[in-house]
Amino acid sequence: MTGFLSEELIDRITERCDLVEIISQYLPLKKAGRNYKGLCPFHQERTPSFVVSPEKQIFHCFGCGVGGNVFSFLQKLEKISFPEAVRLAGEKVGISISLSGDEKETVKENLYQINEVVCRFFQEQLKKTPVALSYLERRKFNSETLKTFRIGYAPSSEVFLDFCRQKYLPGEKLREIGLIMPSSRGKGEYAYFRGRIIFPIFTLYGKICGFGGRVLDNSLPKYLNSSQSTIFDKGRHLYALSLSKEFIREEEEAILVEGYTDVLALYQGGIRNVVASLGTSLTTFQTRLLKRCSKEVYLAYDEDSAGVAATLRGIDLLLEADLGIKIISMPAGVDPAEVMIKQGKEAFALLKDQASPYVDYRIDLEISRKPKLGIREKIEVIHSIFPTLQKIPHALEFQDLIKKLAERLNIEEKLLRSEFRKLEKKEWTSDTPLQLISDPNKRVKKKERELLQLMLLGEETIELVRDRWGWDKFESEENRQIAREIIALWERKELSLPRLLNRLKEENLSFLVSSLSLRELFPDTVDKKNLTLEIIQSLKREIIERKRRECRQKIAEYEKQGDHKKVVLYCRQFDRLAREINFIEVGNEQED
Ligand SMILES: [Zn+2]
């Protein structure tokens, strides 16, 4: 899995790394008791919940749940693979490893080059295809715009495949970036984009990572995007950002539209700080891209579009990124491209001037959806606005909006605040006390977690768990994997937290371990041995109780069927289970 990186080498690097020092190279950390704290680099927050333990050499964010050791941190922050993170950490502590990682870059470069060749071909094809040209003319796009955005046309499958053969473009690469597909009717292959206007999609630095294609008529799907590949992930790009970033930076604001043609029309009309998301809802990655070059985002989405709800949820992300958001209201049934082309730049600028702040817009939208505004409807409005308001990073702005919402709903601010507090509590489910968890499976899972936590605290508890319980008895798959790894490392006398994290290759497992080891649930003074025994006992009780419930069900079933023999059999078993429970109650540790 880690290629030729030996575990010893990984351990050696782990030991040399000082996690606090390495993380400090990326963000400021402040000492807080035993640990260090800082603002999490993986989510937006106002108060630090990102904890680094110098003692344990792990980190965990109690806000978003990310956690792990030095490699997990570098992997996540630098967006690199595990071997690459090992290499980078090695570099930082003076252990150099020659990874053939550079090879990966050349592979990517090669794919970009293929896209470049194909893009030029599509551009040539457009010049030869009157029907496509006249479609673009009808939309009033001039040749300058077509050149800037490198608009092309994808011909028929045969023509495209011929071209690829002539240019010796390797089939497996073309398949990898989704330009050709295997035919569903047995043999052969076909071109993915056929008879479509092509919009190349650029990386931030102007390389072509994918394509979007639009049909000329009304056939479906209207738009088609390159599929996910080594070089293309549509959630990580914003269309036209490579062209518009300097204009966005200049104006300190960006205009976000839905489609390719909206971008072309605005850009052509002289509004150049424009980008489009390549799907209906925004991703955190895209908002981060925007945040890098602008302070304010104007949304000009088509209001009738079916995706409005999903879009709104996506926009909440912009709030989280602490970007100012305003909504440009488009006249019904008209998209930004039409406004620009039919009415001109001034008309669009006017709409932009009238844009309303996002939260105001949300409040209006929610209220306008209600035929009347009784108590019930008001509560519904509050509930649907709550997740949005929660994302507002500034207390003053939040206050202001609470006031506004109270006014709009004609209720007292005090009432509104208490309703919000209730909703906040509801969200806080992860730390519900055990006795309040009614689902027995969840209860078991939680107890197993407590056991893991104790195992992470001390060696004697590991021995107890191994001898009196066993890793294979952990019911939740993730808990079981962690318990197994802890016991295995401990038996080899190699247990340390960073090492454990290196062995757990899945992200969710390392997040869980870092969270369990940094969450201070038990005071230092607690008798760990006793507590471990208590939890094991209660797990045993849970399991017997479960068997008893099953027994009771069987008895009822067989009674209905009149199967007397079976009824007696299960009744005996039921009694036996009751005795077992009694054993546990008096603290007898006998196994069955
Ligand atoms: Zn976080």
Q: What is the CA radius of gyration of the chain?
A: 30
pLDDT score for 131? 95
What CATH number is given to the structural domain containing 255? 3.40.1360.10
Helix (H) or strand (E) holding 486: helix 477-491
pLDDT score for 395? 72
Q: Are 168 and 49 contained in the same domain? A: no
Q: Are 420 and 540 contained in the same domain? A: no
Domain boundary residue, one of 202, 231, 260? 231
Q: Are 364 and 474 contained in the same domain? A: no
Least Cα distance to 124 among 140, 141, 142, 147 occurs for 147
Least Cα distance to 385 among 414, 410, 409 occurs for 409
Average pLDDT, the chain: 84
pLDDT score for 465? 93
Ligand 1 centroid–CA 321 distance in Å is 13
Q: Are 314 and 369 contained in the same domain? A: no
Is the pLDDT assigned to residue 434 strictly greater than 50?
no
Q: Are 12 and 25 contained in the same domain? A: yes
Using a CB cutoff of 5 Å, list residues around ligand 1, an ion.
40, 42-43, 61, 63-64
The most confident of the ranges 124-133, 445-454, 472-481, 560-569 is 124-133
Q: Are 81 and 112 contained in the same domain? A: no
Question: How many Å apart are CA 521 and CA 338, to the nearest integer?
Answer: 59
Helices and strands per DSSP (H, E), number in the chain: 26, 17
Ligand 1 centroid–CA 357 distance in Å is 27
Ligand 1 centroid–CA 242 distance in Å is 29
402-408 mean pLDDT: 87
CB-CB neighbours of 379 under 10 Å: 13
Q: Are 238 and 227 contained in the same domain? A: no
- Residue 263: both structure tokens together: 């971008």
pLDDT tens sequence across 264-274: 999 999 999 99
pLDDT tens sequence across 28-81: 899 888 889 999 999 888 888 899 998 888 999 988 888 999 999 998 888 888
Is the pLDDT assigned to residue 161 strictly greater than 90?
yes
248-252 mean pLDDT: 87
Q: pLDDT-derived band of residue 576, with 50, 70 and 90 as boundaries?
A: confident
pLDDT score for 429? 37
pLDDT score for 267? 96
Q: Give helix 7-16 / helix 70-78 axis angle, nearest 10°.
A: 90
Q: pLDDT-derived band of residue 105, with 50, 70 and 90 as boundaries?
A: low
What CATH number is given to the structural domain containing 86? 3.90.580.10
The residue among 332 and 112 whose pLDDT is bigger is: 112
The answer to whether the beta carbons of residues 414 and 403 sit under 8 Å apart is: no
Domain boundary residue, one of 209, 231, 253? 231
Angle (CA) 456 458 460, round 5°: 125
Is the pLDDT assigned to residue 311 strictly greater than 70?
no
Residue 205 lies in a domain: yes
Q: Are 446 and 528 contained in the same domain? A: yes
pLDDT tens sequence across 329-375: 888 778 889 999 999 999 999 999 999 888 888 888 888 888 888 88
What CATH number is given to the structural domain containing 152? 3.90.980.10
Residue 591 lies in a domain: no
Q: Are 417 and 509 contained in the same domain? A: no
Domain that holds residue 116: 100-231
Backbone angles phi, psi at 32, to 5 degrees: -140, 95
- Residue 157: both structure tokens together: 């499958």
What's the domain count of the chain?
A: 5
Residue 525 lies in a domain: yes
Q: Are 227 and 247 contained in the same domain? A: no
Which residues are bridge partners to 58 per DSSP? 53
pLDDT score for 499? 86
Ligand 1 centroid–CA 516 distance in Å is 16
Is the pLDDT assigned to residue 394 strictly greater than 90?
no
Ligand 1 centroid–CA 466 distance in Å is 33
pLDDT score for 314? 62
Residue 592 lies in a domain: no
pLDDT score for 398? 78
pLDDT score for 585? 58
- Residue 390: both structure tokens together: 């929660």
pLDDT score for 50? 93
Ligand 1 centroid–CA 228 distance in Å is 26
Q: Are 107 and 183 contained in the same domain? A: yes
- Give the distance, in angstroms, between the CA of residue 517 and the centroid of all CA atoms in the same chain: 24
Is the pLDDT assigned to residue 188 strictly greater than 50?
yes
Ligand 1 centroid–CA 498 distance in Å is 20
Residue 1 lies in a domain: no
Percent pLDDT > 70 in the chain is 89
- CA-to-CA dists, residue 407 to 193, 392, 412, angstroms: 53, 19, 8
Q: Pairing state of beta strands 152-154 and 208-215?
A: unpaired
What CATH number is given to the structural domain containing 576? 1.10.860.10
Ligand 1 centroid–CA 52 distance in Å is 12
pTM for the model: 0.56
Q: Are 375 and 347 contained in the same domain? A: no
pLDDT score for 130? 96
Percent pLDDT > 90 in the chain is 31
Least Cα distance to 540 among 453, 475, 488 occurs for 475
Residue 239 lies in a domain: yes
pLDDT score for 413? 85
Helix (H) or strand (E) holding 338: helix 336-338
Q: Which residue in this structure is represented by tokens 């390549």?
A: 278
Domain boundary residue, one of 231, 258, 277? 231
Is the pLDDT assigned to residue 142 strictly greater than 70?
yes
190-213 mean pLDDT: 93
HEC string of 162-187 equals HHHHHCCCCHHHHHHCCCEEECCCCC
Ligand 1 centroid–CA 248 distance in Å is 28
